[in-house]
Chain A
Amino acid sequence: MLLLGQDLSRFFQNVRCDDQSPFALRNLPNGFSLTYLGEERAEIEIFRCSREKSWFSKSDVLKGIVLEKDVLLGLVRFGKIRLVEETEQIVGFAEPRRGSSIIVLRGQGKFELFKKFVDTLWDFLGRVRVQTPKSVVECEVIENFPFDRANHLLMVRSEDEDLVHRFLQEGFQVALKIDDERKLSHFYDMGVRYFLLKNFDRGLCERFSDGHFVIEQGNLCESLGLAHGIVLDTENLKVEDLLLASLFNRLVVLYTKATPNMVRFMDVLGFGAMGWNRSLNPFFTKIEQSGDGLYRVQFVNEQNLPSMVFVDAHRSRIDWVEDSQRTLVHRCSKLNDDGRYFHFYVEGEDECSS
Chain B
Amino acid sequence: MLELRYNPLTDEWIIVSAETQRRPVQPSQQSCPICVGGLELPEEYDLVSFENRFPALKRNPPDVEIESNIFLKKRSFGVCEVVVYTSQHDVALPGMPLKQIEKLIEMWVDRTVQLFSFDFVEYVFVFENRGKEVGASLSHPHGQIYALPFLPKRIIAKMEAFRKWYGEKNSCVICDVIAEETELKKRIVFETESFVSLVPFYARFPFEVHIYPKRHVTTLPELTVQERSELARHLKVITSKYDGLYNQEFPYMMMFFQAPIKTPDAGLFHLHVEFNPPKRDKDKIKWMASVETGTWAFINPMIPEQAAEMLRKVEVNLP
Task: Point out residues on A near B: beta carbons under 8 Å.
Answer: 118-119, 122, 129-132, 151, 212, 250, 281, 283-284, 286, 298, 300, 304-306, 323, 325, 327-329, 331, 338, 340-347
Contact = CB atoms under 8 A, between A and B. Distances in A.
Given A300-B113, A345-B46, A305 B219 contact: no
Given A304-B109, A341-B50, A283 B225 contact: no
B47 A250 contact: no
B46 A347 contact: yes
B45 interface: yes
B267 A345 contact: no
A331 B116 CA distance: 16
Nearest to B227: A306
A306 B227 CA distance: 11
Contacts of B106: 304, 327-329, 345
Interface string B83-123: 00000000000000001001100110111011011110000
Given A250-B264, A343-B81, 6 more contacts: A283-B262, A300-B221, A304-B113, A304-B221, A329-B46, A342-B50
A340 B117 contact: no
Nearest to A118: B264
B49 interface: yes
Given A118-B264, A345-B107, A132 B118 contact: yes
A343 B111 contact: yes
A348 B111 CA distance: 18
B222 interface: yes
A151 B114 CA distance: 10
B99 A328 contact: yes
Contacts of A329: 46-47, 103, 106-107, 110
B245 interface: no
Contacts of A283: 116-117, 261-262
Given A323-B225, A343-B111, A281 B47 contact: no
B264 A119 contact: yes
B interface majority secondary structure: mixed
Nearest to A325: B225
| Contact residues on B (Cβ < 8 Å of other chain), bracket | 35 or more
A340 B57 CA distance: 12
B223 interface: yes
Nearest to A127: B263
B71 to A, nearest CB: 18
Contacts of A343: 48-50, 81, 107, 110-111
Interface of B: 45-53, 81, 99, 102-103, 106-107, 109-111, 113-114, 116-119, 219, 221-225, 261-262, 264-265, 267
A172 to B, nearest CB: 15
A320 to B, nearest CB: 17
B223 to A, nearest CB: 7
A325 B111 CA distance: 19
A305 B224 contact: yes
A271 B42 CA distance: 41
25 contacts: A130-B262, A131-B119, A132-B118, A151-B117, A281-B113, A281-B114, A281-B117, A283-B116, A284-B113, A298-B222, A300-B221, A304-B109, A306-B224, A328-B99, A328-B106, A329-B107, A329-B110, A331-B114, A342-B48, A343-B110, A344-B47, A344-B48, A345-B49, A345-B106, A345-B110
Contacts of A130: 119, 262
Name, among A250, A305, A328, the residue most crowded by chain B CB atoms within 10 Å (CB to CB).
Answer: A328
Contacts of A327: 106, 109, 225
Contacts of B99: 328
A304 B220 CA distance: 10
Nearest to A129: B119
A280 to B, nearest CB: 9
Contacts of A328: 99, 102-103, 106
Given A284-B221, A328-B106, A341-B51, A346 B111 contact: no
A147 B261 CA distance: 26
Nearest to B51: A340
Contacts of A298: 222
A306 B221 contact: yes
Most B Cβ at <10 Å: residue of A130, A250, A323, A345: A345
Contacts of A212: 119
B213 to A, nearest CB: 12
Contacts of A305: 221, 224-225
A119 B163 CA distance: 13
A167 B85 CA distance: 38
Contacts of B265: 119
The 8 closest A-B pairs by CB, nearest first: A340-B51, A342-B50, A130-B262, A345-B47, A283-B261, A300-B221, A119-B264, A343-B49
A342 B33 CA distance: 14
A191 to B, nearest CB: 11
Contacts of B119: 129-132, 212
Given A283-B262, A340-B51, A344-B45, A323 B113 contact: no
Contact of B261 (A118, A129, A284, A347): A284
Contacts of B219: 284
A119 B114 CA distance: 25
